[in-house]
Amino acid sequence: MTNIDRLRLMTKVARLYHERGLRQSVIADQLSLSQAMVSRLLAAAQNEGIVRTTVMTPRGVYPELEDELERRYGLKDAVIADCAVNTRDQILREVGSAAATYLETTLGSDEVIGISSWSETLLRMVGSMQPLRRGRDGHHVVQILGGIGKPNAEAHATRLTEQLASLLRADPHFLQAPGVTVSPEATAAHLADPLLQQTAVYFDKLTVALVGIGALHPSRLLGESGNVFSDNELRELERLGAVGDISLRFFDRAGHPVMSPFNERVIGMSLDQLRRVPRSIGIAGTSEKHDAIRGALEGGLINVLITDRFTAERLIDDGDAARVVPLREVSA
């Protein structure tokens, strides 16, 4: 068979298969070829460029941005929610919905899932979720930050753990303590409680952690909870370089823990424990949280990010700016 004859046969087989939708066995019968030959010709047609696979990206989907975030920050996965406008309410709604879908589709069997308190984005996520299909139980849902606070806000923290456990048909484990105590001595007393220890033992067993990422200044939900810090403590955190927090554990621009006296009043999972979780999922967006999200990424505090497209674009622009060589270095 000459080369042109081979190319002609390849093209014929490829058109019958890809354009007319005939099965390989039908093509083999029609052209008096073996099915193995048809399979080889289809593979050769792709190698020769006769058949090219093109993935058409639907509007509102951002695979290139996701790939770039994963590459630049060493992430296992990135999910970018589409937002028509850059407003706080829409970002919270769309990021929460994207996180719900991600969790529903990626959970394995017998997961131990940690969830933080006082996060409006996590509230939106849980509110968007559908109940887990039967046949995949055995999960545990663990509260990883104290949830006791003012009565009107405390329901949010309890509902996060309780509702997520119900949706996943999981066993809930509550952290019955305030997120922030009045003193280090009060923290030590709570940590000595056997009931609290029964929950805290799960911190090192988590397979998935679901965390919001907070800016330096407390969010509305956190402010309403009563788990707040004084102006002096806030100024001290700022002086030490803090840019944000995960579960009230503050970190700097490089993602290093900021060890201020405030840290001794927090009851919850540590940043070192979070880093060891196989899948630590940060769910956050909006411009005010940009520095905090970037710090969490730089420090490897999370390995999955679910955010909005505006934040994603700015995080990538940051990476571009960081790679620009200053003029003085070039002239040197």
* CATH of residue 282: 3.40.50.1360
Judge whether 192 lies within some domain: yes
Q: Summarize pLDDT for 69-124 with one digit per residue, the tens.
A: 999 999 999 999 998 888 999 999 999 999 999 999 899 889 999 999 878 899 99
Task: Name the E strands within the chain.
Answer: 77-81, 112-115, 140-143, 171-173, 208-211, 214-215, 244-246, 249-251, 279-283, 304-308
Residues 78, 122 within the same domain: yes
Both 172 and 27 in one domain: the answer is no
Same-domain status, 294 and 254: yes
Would you say residue 328 lies in a domain? no
- Computed over every residue of the chain, the mean pLDDT equals 88
Give residue 33's domain range. Answer: 3-47
**In the predicted model, is pLDDT for residue 219 greater than 80?**
no
Same domain (yes/no): 8, 86: no
Q: Do 28 and 97 sit in the same domain of this protein?
A: no
How far is 83 from 212, CA to CA, in rounded Å? 19
* Residue 221 pLDDT > 80: no
Considering the domain architecture, whether residues 98 and 22 belong to the same structural domain is answered as no
**52 is a domain residue:** no
Of 270, 282, 276, nearest to 308 by C-alpha is: 282
Residues 69 and 150 in one domain: yes
Q: Is 306 left (phi over 0), alpha (psi -120 to 50) or beta?
A: beta
Whether the full predicted model's pTM is greater than 0.75, yes or no, is yes
Q: Mark whether 75 and 165 lie in a shared domain.
A: yes
Residue 23 has pLDDT above 80, yes or no: yes
Residue 53 has pLDDT above 90, yes or no: no
Q: Is 219 exposed, middle or buried (0-12, 13-18, 19+ CB in 10 A)?
A: middle
Answer yes or no: is 54 within a domain. no
Evaluate if residue 283 carries a pLDDT over 90.
yes
Residue 325 has what pLDDT?
41
pLDDT at 1: 61
Lowest mean pLDDT among 43-57, 81-95, 126-140: 126-140
Residues 309 and 258 in one domain: yes
Token output for 260:
């201020």
What is the spatial distance between Cα 121 and Cα 141, in angstroms, rounded to a whole number? 17
117, 73: one domain: yes
Query: In the prediction, which pLDDT does 149 show?
Result: 67
For the chain, the domain total comes to 2
How are the residues of the chain apportioned to helix, strand and coil, as percentages rounded to the nearest 5? Answer: 50, 15, 35
Q: Write the CA distances from 225 to 6, 11, 108, 152, 332, integer angstroms.
A: 73, 68, 33, 8, 54
